């Protein structure tokens, strides 16, 4: 009969294998993401992904039986990282103009990155054939982001800083002011980055228009924004 020490050792070994397994899956998904971004959904090769990741096709198929499920897993990993970065930019206490400027900087840095635009193009192309891709992208990105921003704006309304309007509609308006034009033009390939040289002006104007519509206090915060990516700038390298 196994002793307590033996059982604990076995449990620690299983947990170690689980952590190694999770790290390995994260590595595989990062490689898969690079292939999808570089070659699109149809052009990405499971064989090439496995080769680059020093793995095998059976390893992929044991976790992800179809290319669609692999792509959804890539989406989940990337969108979760983006959300974790953007969501930290909405503290409740600082002046609302300052907070919205910081939020706008982070959102555009990510939304206009080369990798994110490429990923959005892939999703847009494949969603008519595989609706689950578009649905999952929306759930993990815009829907979750709007819900988080809505919660922030609802609390600001409670504190008397903005009007008590529909916070979901307010969040939609602010996000559209920030990203509507720039993202559309980049997705179409019409401009490399329409606001890279004047990000502070673009974001500051979006915040002012928003607060003129919904704000209750004067605009006083100093607007500063840096590091809007150029066309060749890839999204920040992430650790697994």
- Name the more confident of 204 and 117: 204
> Chain-centre distance of CA 142, in angstroms?
9
- Name the more confident of 40 and 167: 167
Could you tell me if residue 108 is inside a domain? yes
Position 215 pLDDT exceeds 90 = yes
Could you tell me if residue 70 is inside a domain? no
In degrees, to the nearest 5, what angle opens at C-alpha 88 toward C-alphas 23 and 105? Answer: 105
Query: Domain containing 152 — which CATH number?
Result: 1.10.357.10
Q: Are residues 211 and 111 in the same domain?
A: yes
Report the C-alpha gap between 170 and 104 in whole angstroms. 14
Question: Of 12-16, 71-75, 139-143, 208-212, where does mean pLDDT reach its minimum?
Answer: 12-16
Q: Are residues 34 and 101 in the same domain?
A: no
Residue 32: which of 83, 69, 86, 87 has the closest Cα?
Answer: 69
Q: Are residues 219 and 117 in the same domain?
A: yes
Q: Are residues 108 and 177 in the same domain?
A: yes
Q: Are residues 81 and 22 in the same domain?
A: no
- Name the range with the highest mean pLDDT among 69-73, 134-138, 207-211, 221-225: 207-211
Report the C-alpha gap between 70 and 57 in whole angstroms. 12
Question: Of 101-105, 118-122, 172-176, 185-189, where does mean pLDDT reach its minimum?
Answer: 185-189
State the pLDDT at residue 154. Answer: 97
Could you tell me if residue 3 is inside a domain? no
Question: Of 70-84, 128-142, 143-157, 191-205, where does mean pLDDT reach its minimum?
Answer: 191-205
State the pLDDT at residue 238. Answer: 45
Position 239 pLDDT exceeds 90 = no
Instruction: Please spell the DSSP secondary structure of 58-90, one letter per residue.
Output: HHHHHH-SSHHHHHHHHHHHHHHHHHHHHHTT-
State the pLDDT at residue 159. Answer: 95
Domain count, the chain: 2
User: pLDDT tier at 72 (50, 70, 90 boundaries)?
Assistant: very high
Quick one: average pLDDT of 36-62? 85
Could you tell me if residue 1 is inside a domain? no
Domain that includes residue 91, residue range: 75-232
Q: What is the pLDDT of residues 175-208, one digit of tens each?
A: 999 887 777 777 777 666 656 567 788 899 999 9
State the pLDDT at residue 3. Answer: 56
């Amino acid at each position: 009969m196994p002793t307590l020490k033996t059982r604990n050792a076995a449990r620690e070994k299983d947990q170690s294998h689980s952590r190694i397994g999770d790290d390995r899956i994260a590595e595989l998904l990062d490689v898969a993401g690079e292939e999808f971004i570089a070659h699109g959904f149809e052009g990405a090769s499971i064989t090439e992904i496995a080769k680059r990741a020093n793995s095998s096709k059976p390893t992929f198929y044991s976790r992800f039986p179809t290319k669609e499920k692999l792509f959804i897993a890539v989406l989940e990993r990337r969108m979760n990282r983006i959300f974790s970065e953007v969501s930290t930019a909405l503290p409740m206490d600082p002046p609302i103009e300052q907070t919205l400027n910081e939020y706008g900087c982070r959102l555009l840095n990510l939304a206009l990155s080369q990798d994110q635009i490429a990923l959005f193009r892939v999703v847009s192309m494949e969603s008519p054939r595989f609706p689950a891709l578009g649905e999952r992208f929306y759930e993990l990105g815009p829907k979750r982001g709007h819900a988080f921003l809505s919660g922030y704006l609802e609390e600001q309304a409670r504190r008397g800083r903005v009007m008590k309007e529909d916070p979901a509609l307010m969040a939609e308006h602010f996000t559209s002011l920030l990203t509507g034009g720039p993202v559309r033009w980049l997705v179409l390939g019409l401009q490399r980055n329409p606001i890279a040289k004047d990000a502070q002006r673009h974001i500051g104007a979006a915040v002012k228009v928003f607060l003129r519509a919904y704000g209750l206090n004067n605009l006083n915060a100093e607007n500063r924004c840096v590091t809007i990516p150029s066309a060749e700038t890839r999204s920040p390298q992430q650790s697994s």
